[in-house]
Amino acid sequence: METPSAVPVRTPLARAALRTALFALGVRLVSAVLAFYANIAFPLYERQPSIMAGAGSPFWDTFTRFDAGWYYPIARNGYHYVAGGRNNLAFFPVYPLLMRSVGRLLGPRPFDYVRGGILVSWVAFVLAMIALGGLARLDLPRRLANRAVLLTAIFPFAFFYGVVYTESVFLLFTVASFYCFRTRRWTLGGVCGGLATATRVNGIMMLPALAWIAWRTAADRREQLRALIGLVLVCSGIGLYSLYVYQLTGDPLEWVASIKRWGYHPGGAPWLALFRLAQALITRPYAFLAGERSAPYDALNGVAAFAFVAAVPFVWRRFGAAYGLFMLANLWLPLSSGQYEGLGRYCSVLFPCFIWLASLRSRVVATSLVALFAMWYTLCLALYTTTHPIF
C-alpha cells in the first residue's frame, strides 16, 4: 500500500495561478526599479510636495504622485467636506479604507499608510491577473488567456496598477464580478460589483453589461431573482457611499458636485474630444505636439481612447454584447466630459479589449503588440515618475 505524499500535488489550475502570480509580481518589481531609475536619472517636470516622512525618498516617492496625495489623507484622517470647494469626496472609499487597514497593521507612522497603499495595489494586481486569466479562459484556450494577462500587465498605462491609485483594486473587483456573473454566482458577483462601484465612480457603468449577462444566462424565475439581487448588490456600493455623503453634507450627490469642481462635466458629445485631437494630429502634428504644453500628454491619452473606441465593434462581435456594452459605457463617461486627462488610465481597466487582442492568432500581431506596449509602457512610466501631467 502506497503512503500518501506529504506534499499535495498541485492541480493544473493552481499551477497556472501560481505562474500568473509570479509573473504579475515580477512586472511590479521591474516597474519599481525602472521608476526609481527614472526618478534619479531625469529631472522632475514640476516639484510636488512629498507625502513621505521627512524630505522624501527617490524610491518611495515614485509610488505617490498626483492623486496619491488625496488618497493618503483620506486613509489617515478620513473625509472632510468644505462647502463649495474641492473636496476629497470625489475619491471613493474602498481603496483608502483598505490603505488605512493595511497601513495600521504595518505600524503607527504616517509612512505606513503609504506602504499600506502600495501593498494593497500590488496584492490586488496579482489577484486581478489571476482572475483575468480565469475569465479569459471561459472564451480562449490557456495560451491565449495567458496572452491577455500579459497585454493587460504591460499596457502603456498599466503602471498605475502598482502605485497608490485605485486601478488594481477596481480591476480586481470588476473582473471578479464579471467572472461570477458569467458562471452564475450571482450573490458573490453582486458583492464584488458593489465593491467596484464603491471604488471608482465609473464602476456603476458595468451595470448594463452585467444586466445583459443576467438576462441571457438566468435559466428560471428563481435564478432570475438571484440575478436581480446580484444587480442590486452591484448598486449598493455607490448607494452606501452616497448615504454616507448625505450624512456628512446633507446632499447624497455631493460627490458629483465635487467631481465637477475638478473640471469634469460629463454629458457632452463623446466624439468631440477625439475629433479635436485627430484634427490637430492630422493637420498640424509638429506644431501641435511641440508647441502646446499639454499636447504630448493629451495625445498619449487620446490615442489610447481612440484605439479602444475603434476596438468596440470587434469586441462586441467576437465576445457578445456584454463586453461591448461595458466598453462603450466606460468610454462614454470620460469622453463626454471633453477631457483627455486620465483617458489612458480609464482604458487600462477595459479588460475585454485585452481579451480580444489576445484572441488574434497572428504571431506577428502578437509580437508587435508586446513590443509596442512594452516601449510605450516604459515611456509613460518615466513620464509619470518624473511628474509630467500624465494621470
Q: What pLDDT, on the 0 to 100 scale, is given for residue 10? A: 58
For residue 282, name the pLDDT band (cuts at 50, 70, 90).
very high
Say if residue 78's pLDDT is above 70. yes
For residue 52, name the pLDDT band (cuts at 50, 70, 90).
low
Higher pLDDT, 58 or 9: 58
Q: Residue ranges per domain, the chain?
A: 40-385
Q: What pTM value is reported for the model?
A: 0.94
| Maximum pairwise Cα distance, the chain | 80
3-state secondary structure of 199: coil
Quick: pLDDT tens for 146-175: 999 999 999 999 999 999 999 999 999 999
Q: What pLDDT, on the 0 to 100 scale, is given for residue 266? A: 84
Q: State the average pLDDT over residues 294-322.
A: 96
Lowest mean pLDDT among 50-54, 113-117, 259-263, 298-302: 50-54
Say if residue 296's pLDDT is above 80. yes
Say if residue 48's pLDDT is above 60. yes
For residue 12, name the pLDDT band (cuts at 50, 70, 90).
confident
**Distances in whole angstroms, Cα of residue 149 to Cα of each of 117, 128, 371:** 23, 9, 15
Say if residue 7's pLDDT is above 50. no
How is residue 24 written as a grid cell? 504579475
For residue 262, name the pLDDT band (cuts at 50, 70, 90).
confident
Q: What pLDDT, on the 0 to 100 scale, is given for residue 6? A: 47
Lowest mean pLDDT among 124-138, 152-166, 244-258: 244-258
**Distances in whole angstroms, Cα of residue 156 to Cα of each of 51, 308, 332:** 26, 13, 21
Q: What percent of the chain has pLDDT over 90?
A: 82
Counting beta carbons within 10 angstroms of the beta carbon of residue 6, is it exposed (0 to 12), middle (13 to 18) or buried (19 or more)?
Answer: exposed
| Sequential DSSP letters for 316-358 | HHHH-HHHHHHHHHHHHHHHTTT--TTHHHHHHT-HHHHHHHH
Q: Please, are residues 245 and 251 in contact by the beta-carbon 8 Å criterion? A: yes
Quick: pLDDT tens for 332-359: 999 999 889 999 999 999 999 999 999 9
| Sequential DSSP letters for 100-131 | HHHHHHH-SSHHHHHHHHHHHHHHHHHHHHHH
For residue 53, name the pLDDT band (cuts at 50, 70, 90).
low
Lowest mean pLDDT among 45-59, 317-331, 364-378: 45-59
Quick: pLDDT tens for 187-211: 999 999 999 999 999 999 999 999 9
Say if residue 1's pLDDT is above 60. no
Q: State the average pLDDT over residues 35-39.
A: 96
Q: What pLDDT, on the 0 to 100 scale, is given for residue 109? A: 87
Q: Please, are residues 120 and 98 in contact by the beta-carbon 8 Å criterion? A: yes
Q: What percent of the chain has pLDDT over 70?
A: 96
Say if residue 116's pLDDT is above 50. yes
Q: Please, are residues 42 and 34 in contact by the beta-carbon 8 Å criterion? A: no
Say if residue 49's pLDDT is above 90. no
Say if residue 276's pLDDT is above 90. yes
For residue 14, name the pLDDT band (cuts at 50, 70, 90).
confident
